[in-house]
Amino acid sequence: MKKLTVQIVYFTHATTKDNEQGAASGWSDAELSEKGKKECAELKRLIRNTKFDVVFCSDLRRATDSARLTFGNSARIIEDKRLREVNYGDFTGKPSKMIDSMMLEHISKPFPNGECYMDVEKRVRSFLNDLVENHSDKRIAIVSHRAPQLSLDVILKGNTWEQAVKKDWRSKKQKEWKPGWKYKLEVNE
């Protein structure tokens, strides 16, 4: 039996104007701020000696712009809508602190006119299935959002959603941002 492996390095999109205003973007197309553009330049410098076979990103503007500014022509960039943030529905544009306080209640219950975090997990599982099928033995980068990253913590690290939310580096207690989180996807063929 052969083991198929994909090395994943996950990057969150850079700071947006919505982030600076404390608004939850969800599926809206938030624009990178000047700070965000500088973050991309700094990340590009930090990872300049790291090679990726391909870069996948959410199709939302903040992720595609972050991927292009960070990776440029160093790797092929592929947009995939399955890597989108959770759809906050009627809560899009509301204060981020409000969304943060509601995360646990929307693990399996969709936001009004939106989706739940388990919907994101389902999208990410589909993406990972395609990834292992088409990119095994590769090193890939993902540029995306909070909910897809938490989904990877659930799928690949065996956390429950509650654990993933509580351990999230974006919480005030954690503050563990780093230039890329490493994940390993392994499947027996």
- Reported as a single tens digit per residue, the pLDDT across 48-69 is 999 999 999 999 999 999 999 9
- Reported as a single tens digit per residue, the pLDDT across 99-115 is 999 999 999 999 999 99
Contact 139, 5 (CB under 8 A): no
Label residue 188 by pLDDT band (50, 70, 90). Answer: confident
pLDDT score at 189? 77
- Reported as a single tens digit per residue, the pLDDT across 126-165 is 999 999 999 999 999 999 999 999 999 999 999 999 999 9
Given a cut of 90, is residue 177 above it in pLDDT? no
Given a cut of 60, is residue 175 above it in pLDDT? no
Query: What share of the chain has pLDDT > 90, as a percent?
Result: 86
Given a cut of 80, is residue 4 above it in pLDDT? yes
Structural domain for 53, as ranges: 3-188
Mean pLDDT, the chain, as a whole number?
93
pLDDT score at 165? 93
* Residue 52, domain CATH: 3.40.50.1240
Q: How many domains does the chain have?
A: 1
Interatomic CA distance for residues 139 and 55, integer angstroms = 9
